[in-house]
A and B are shown apart, each in its own frame.
With several copies, the nearest count.
Chain A
Amino acid sequence: MEPLHVLKEREPQIHRKGEAPFSIECNKDSLAGAVSQRACVFCGSRVVLYPIADALHLVHGPIGCAVYTWDIRGALSSGPELHRLSFSTDLQEIDVIFGGEKKLYKALIELIDRHQPKAAFVYSTCIVGLIGDDMEAVCKQVEKEKSIPVLPVMSEGFKGNKRAGYEAACSAMTRLVGTGDISGISKHSINILGDFNLAGEIWLIREYFNRIGVEVVANITGDGRIEDIKRSHGAALNVVQCSGATMDLATMMKKRFGIPNIRVSYFGVEDMAEALYEVARFFKDDEMLEKARELVRMELSTLLPELQKYKTALAGKKAAIYVGGAFKAFSLVKAFRLIGMKVVMVGSQTGTREDYEELEEITDEGTIIIDDANPLELSAIIREKDVDIFVGGVKERPIAYKLGVAFCDHNHERKEMLAGFHGMLNFAREVYGSVMSPVWQFVPRRVSEEKE
């Protein structure tokens, strides 16, 4: 087995559980030339705000930033689909020289007239800051003229990593929160933060909450609507999923409106159940808690027998996880355990020290924990650990596939609902459908094994 190709500078960001006391560096800038799997600030903002379906999302910059984020995600809407279009000011050399404010203004007016959105988000890109466009001023002007919120998102790509983009997005939404009418909202009410309604997941989660008697005020941002976000300060609780994407908004809402928040995950049965229980516990409502227990019992009674088939087939297979936010990784570790599989690697693009500590805790001996990995590292680990399936996003897919390893997309492009109890079944099915494919017997890795 060839050794793991690791640049010296990268070594502190890789930890093997059991080999040494826990230590990992993280939240560093990507190393130049290392072919990081990370994106940029702009990407972080787009990820968070993208699913707001009745808003105009205008990318102020050259064409690339807009075109690479055109309709790329599985975030569904139950109504308007404005988010699926790709709007750009398509800055040209002349704009870079003379400034793009006028073009931005005209583009905004044109697009708002054309689509009548409920609000507009305007994303700044790398060069916008550099050429000195006063986006704030243009947005204010258009807001006044068109009487809808026009919100600058300060997402210049180079000003940090994806996480900074989350903040910029939250900060833009902050301007909306608190501007709507909150009359008639139930005392048992929440906002769902950090679910992006991939493959319709938020619909399922909302249904669960409805079943235990909780009103959902705003989806933030899966299947999101401007009006809901405006009145989201009327909710009693913010239920936040995912490591960091929307945490800043929750923090702000706590500060400004005193709304407490809890962090949950909807992936895997334990986390999903715990999410419902926690909400019920928050409301200190026994009936609600009993309803939640009943819901979990019911769902599990159909789910677990169905899972058995997959569990039998998958027992002992090995998984590697590399995702954007570490919080999802926790759930995945547990989900794999539920279907009898071993997690041999887990990593994230943007985990914090606390995240990695928790991963250290819940994983088995020998598991590799990695921050901001790159293709060479990932591929070396795949081979070293003889991984059966890799969980990641589209950028990781070809690495797995090239080496003959099954793959599960657990990122924003996926078309399968993986959240909730039903999602757990889909997850098992999807893992099964990839791991058990007969194609692996033809890949060099397996062929050479057989020859050994």
Chain B
Amino acid sequence: MSKMPNYVSTTNACKLCKPLGASLAFRGIEGAVPFLHGSQGCATYMRRYIISHFNEPIDIASSSLGEKHAVYGGSANLKMGLKNVTAKYKPQLIGVATTCLTETIGDDVKMILAEYKDEFHTGIDDPLIISVSTPSYSGTHMEGFNAALKGVVEQLANGGEQNETINILPGFISAADLRYLKELLQDFGIAATVLPDYSETLDGEALNEYPLIPKGGTPLSSIRNMGRAKLTIECGRTFSGETAGSQLLKLFTVPLTRVGLPIGIRETDRFMDVVSEAAGIEIPEKYRSARGRLVDAMVDGHKYIFGKRAVVYGEEDLVVGLTAFLAEIGIKPVLCASGGKSGNMKESIANVLEGLGCEMPEVHENVDFYDIEERASDLDLDLLVGHSKGYSFARRQNIPLIRVGFPIHDRIGGQRLLHIGYHGAQQLFDTITNTIIAKKQDDSDVGYSYM
């Protein structure tokens, strides 16, 4: 999909840069420190951006390249940085992501890391070092996120005799989603490796001591075993190219099942069926009754929202899941947009809408908020569904914004939003429906006290 019309400039982008996604993914590994090989500003900007969502410290190290390194290469700084991080943080893993600077000057990171290991590794307590190529000019934060996971799996996982665990690659979901997912797997009684898992590292408790590295994250031992799992469930319908899941299949023949993000009823049904089959047990009562209550609630609320018209934007897989859910509850997604450009969003949306009697919305990849607003100006909208960055658009249109995903910069608790599963769908449903009710109530001259 191309932009419509084809503007050259970008205004208010609907995407973030690649190393940010990699940093988040690395943050979801136990004992890991994300490390950007580039100029100091990248790490600082991204930290600030991530902090404003999670309200949690996130230390991202940097090789802090200066002018001379651009000329002579960043090797020395990268090594010094790794050494310093190792000394101060005593990490189990350092996740090195490149930036456009180091990619452009042509640093051979793999080689530098090999040298570094030769030079500095003592054999005792040396951190693992993973590297991933993430120049900002070749993809969005989602590509960076997925690339980091792929890198981790390729560089860490081992094959061997199959065990009884499954791998879950849940995609870029919230900390609350991850907690929910882990509880769900526990309720199924199934041993699973969820990668990444920043549910604690980016949503931690109040502490007495500043943590060198926050506790939590996917254990390295589990990641090593991912090559021996009996199944990988990878959430996402818009992948293009190799992923952690496909590499686990290719390198270690771990069977791969791809499902969408479990958002809404049908996508959750699919996910639950896969998990249930893998676990060899029925879906537990807790989830069946949650589904029953969800359907009951959808019926209770359906009239308030029928036919409302929504724009959905954000990461492609999130947009696909949310679009499916909106259609399930009778809201018309009229425009689905992303700054990403996998090329797969339209087809994925067509797939998840099948059988719902919902007209196909306009689907646009590789767009910014200027495009979205321009396109939406004659669409007669009732609500926006997406992250905080749509606020000014929503404000101008005088329609509500349902905040989901990342980033949430103008509310607290973005990391605590639950999107997935029947419980997440319930929360989304209540939020959306009540937002529409509230607007009707507040806009009315009457001020009905029953709705």
Indicate whether A and B are direct neighbours in the complex (CB within 8 Å). yes
CB of B88 within 8 Å of the partner chain: yes
CB of B208 within 8 Å of the partner chain: yes
CB of A300 within 8 Å of the partner chain: no
CB contact between A40 and one of B44, B55, B265 (< 8 Å): that residue: B44
CB of B210 within 8 Å of the partner chain: yes
Within 330-351 of B, Cβ neighbours of A (below 8 Å) are at 330, 339
Shortest beta-carbon distance, B79 to chain A, in Å? 8
Report the separation of the CA atoms of residues A160 and B60 in the bound assembly, to the nearest whole angstrom.
Answer: 19
CB of A293 within 8 Å of the partner chain: no
Structural contact, B42 and A157, CB atoms closer than 8 A: yes
CB contact between A439 and one of B54, B77, B78, B299 (< 8 Å): that residue: B299
Structural contact, B10 and A88, CB atoms closer than 8 A: yes
Report the separation of the CA atoms of residues A315 and B295 in the bound assembly, to the nearest whole angstrom.
Answer: 26
Structural contact, B44 and A93, CB atoms closer than 8 A: no
Shortest beta-carbon distance, B6 to chain A, in Å? 10
Q: Using Cβ atoms and an 8 Å threshold, which residues of chain B touch A434?
A: 302-303, 306
Q: Using Cβ atoms and an 8 Å threshold, which residues of chain B touch A30?
A: 40, 62, 64
Structural contact, B209 and A376, CB atoms closer than 8 A: no
Shortest beta-carbon distance, B238 to chain A, in Å? 19
CB of A110 within 8 Å of the partner chain: yes
Q: Using Cβ atoms and an 8 Å threshold, which residues of chain B touch A303?
A: none
CB of A63 within 8 Å of the partner chain: yes
Shortest beta-carbon distance, A131 to chain B, in Å? 7
Which of A40, A42, A43, A444: most chain B CB closer than 10 A?
A: A40
Q: Using Cβ atoms and an 8 Å threshold, which residues of chain B touch A160?
A: 66-67
Within 78-125 of A, Cβ neighbours of B (below 8 Å) are at 84-93, 95-96, 103, 106-108, 110-111, 125
Which of B204, B306, B392: most chain A CB closer than 10 A?
A: B306
Which of B40, B52, B78, B339: most chain A CB closer than 10 A?
A: B40
- Encoded as 1 (CB less than 8 Å from any A CB) or 0, chain B from 364 to 391 comes to 0000000000000000000000000100
Residue of B nearest to A162 (CB): B41
Structural contact, A31 and B64, CB atoms closer than 8 A: yes
Shortest beta-carbon distance, A31 to chain B, in Å? 6
CB of A182 within 8 Å of the partner chain: no
Residue of A nearest to B105 (CB): A130
Report the separation of the CA atoms of residues A85 and B368 in the bound assembly, to the nearest whole angstrom.
Answer: 12
Q: A31-B64, A70-B12 are in contact. Are A439 and B57 (CB under 8 A)?
A: no
Structural contact, A92 and B389, CB atoms closer than 8 A: no
CB of B4 within 8 Å of the partner chain: no
CB of A137 within 8 Å of the partner chain: no
Structural contact, A62 and B56, CB atoms closer than 8 A: no
CB of A5 within 8 Å of the partner chain: yes
CB of B300 within 8 Å of the partner chain: yes
- Encoded as 1 (CB less than 8 Å from any A CB) or 0, chain B from 1 to 40 comes to 0000001111111011111100000000000000100111
Q: A398-B57, A437-B330 are in contact. Are A127 and B12 (CB under 8 A)?
A: no
Q: A68-B45, A437-B302 are in contact. Are A35 and B295 (CB under 8 A)?
A: no
Q: How many positions in chain B have a CB within 8 Å of any CB in the partner chain?
A: 98
Structural contact, A383 and B209, CB atoms closer than 8 A: yes
Structural contact, A39 and B299, CB atoms closer than 8 A: no
Within 377-419 of B, Cβ neighbours of A (below 8 Å) are at 389, 392
Shortest beta-carbon distance, A154 to chain B, in Å? 12
Q: Using Cβ atoms and an 8 Å threshold, which residues of chain B touch A158?
A: 38-39, 65-67, 69-70, 101
Task: Identify the stretch in B151-159, B192-200, B252-260, B443-451 within 8 Å (CB) of chain A at 4 or more residues.
Answer: B443-451
Shortest beta-carbon distance, B406 to chain A, in Å? 13
CB of B83 within 8 Å of the partner chain: yes
Residue of A nearest to B357 (CB): A438
Structural contact, A32 and B45, CB atoms closer than 8 A: no
CB of B132 within 8 Å of the partner chain: no
Q: Using Cβ atoms and an 8 Å threshold, which residues of chain B touch A103?
A: 8
CB of B99 within 8 Å of the partner chain: yes
Excluding A63-B15, A127-B101, A379-B210, 10 further A-B contacts by CB distance (< 8 Å) are A62-B17, A68-B45, A69-B45, A71-B392, A85-B11, A90-B10, A108-B9, A127-B137, A399-B210, A438-B358
Q: List 9 A-B contacts (CB under 8 A).
A: A2-B209, A30-B40, A31-B84, A36-B64, A58-B9, A71-B448, A90-B13, A108-B9, A157-B42
Interface residues of B (CB under 8 A from A): 7-13, 15-20, 35, 38-49, 51-52, 54-67, 69-70, 77-78, 80-85, 87-88, 99-101, 104-105, 135-138, 140, 204, 206-212, 265, 295-296, 298-300, 302-303, 306-307, 327-330, 339, 355-358, 389, 392, 446, 448-451
3 closest Cβ contacts across the A-B interface? A40-B41, A64-B17, A379-B210
